[in-house]
Amino acid sequence: MTRDLDPFGRRLRALTPARVRLDPEGGATPLASVLDFQLCHARARDAIRLPVDWQAVKAALAPREAIELQSRAPDRDTYIRRPDLGRRLAPDSLARIPRSAPDLAIVIADGLSASAVAAHAAPMVEAVAAALTGFSIGPVALVREGRVAAGDEVAEAMGARLCLMLIGERPGLSVSDSLGAYLTFAPRIGTTDSARNCVSNIHGNGGLPHAAAADLIAYLARRALEIGATGVALKDERGQATLPSAD
């Protein structure tokens, strides 16, 4: 059994799902902590290796239109070994993207967590759509074995002004179902990561709730169209306070 923590240790543990001082007095690791570690490790492995149930994602998105696409990585092993192939679409998938010229293209990719996509992708699409009233949104693109940059090619082919990529983040031993959201203005092949804004840690275990994440994405999307840029040029300045003068 884990011994009682001091007041500082208890306050620190309340702030994070991470493991904090399993046994402050040393000694063997408690059995409960060992089993919990093994369970979290198994969840992280499953998040990376198990496939996304894309039919379930499409059903959760209905009646919103969704199109299934494939990156140039034909399978999971190739995807993990060759990140470059996950950044581009297979030619036959590229040919099936309609050029509807929406304000926003929403792309969902499995990334490194199938459980994140299953739990959070569809609710985030609906939350973002509700927050972005007045925006036209193209059909949702579902990219198997996709990485962040795959969204650039999808959105460029669609003729979208903005791309929002929702993707499973690399799992840790505390959270295995965290979703990331990447917003890009004027998306095109070759866009660098410095030209994107990332909203990360979208999950239910002390992470960013769907509504809060959607509000931030909506703010960034509107500002991106105002200034014509995302990434290092765009900051979250909502409610920014002015520091008092030193005089």
Alpha helices in the chain (DSSP H): 7-14, 31-49, 54-61, 76-81, 83-86, 91-94, 114-116, 122-131, 150-158, 210-227
Give the pLDDT confidence of 176-205 residue by residue, as tens digits.
Answer: 899 999 999 999 999 999 999 999 999 988
Tens digit of each residue's pLDDT (9 = 90 or more) over 37-60: 788 888 888 878 788 999 999 999
| Sequence-ordered list of residues with C-beta below 8 angstroms from that of 46, at least 6 positions apart, any chain | 114, 115, 176
Higher per-residue confidence, 20 vs 182: 182
Predicted confidence (pLDDT) at residue 26 exceeds the cutoff of 70? no
Classified as helix, coil or strand, 160 is: coil
Tokens describing residue 239: 């409610």
**What is the per-residue pLDDT across 48-98, written as a single tens digit (0 to 9) for each?**
878 899 999 999 999 999 999 999 999 999 999 999 999 999 999 999 999
Query: Residue 129: which residues within 8 A CB-CB, separation 6 or more?
Result: 64, 135, 137
pLDDT at 2: 45
Structure tokens, 48? 């990376």
| Overall average pLDDT of the 223-227 stretch | 97
Q: Which residues contact 114 (CB under 8 A, 6 or more apart)?
A: 46, 47, 48, 50, 51, 52, 53, 168
Q: Which residue has the higher pLDDT, 85 or 8?
A: 85
Strands across the sheet with 162-168, in order? 66-70, 140-144, 104-109, 162-168, 179-185, 196-202
- Say what the pLDDT of residue 1 is: 39
- Longest Cα separation, the chain: 64
Among 105, 215, 108, 221, residue whose Cα is nearest residue 163: 105
In this structure, the number of other CB atoms found within 10 A of the CB of residue 107 comes to 27
List domains and CATH numbers for the chain: 65-233 (3.40.50.11240)
Reply yes or no on whether the pLDDT at 12 is more than 80: no
Using CA atoms, how far apart are residues 1 and 42, in angstroms rounded to an integer? Answer: 23
In the chain, pLDDT over 90 holds for what percent of residues?
71
Sign of the dihedral through C-alpha 60, 116, 30, 12: negative
Structure tokens at 111: 């990334």
Q: What is the pLDDT of residue 21?
A: 66
Mean pLDDT of the chain: 90
- Across 54-117, the runs of DSSP E, i.e. the strands, are 66-70, 104-109
With bands split at pLDDT 50, 70 and 90, how would you rate the model's confidence at 247? very low
Mean pLDDT in residue range 225-234: 97
Q: Token digits for 75?
A: 């399978």
Residues 40, 46 contacting (CB under 8 angstroms):
no
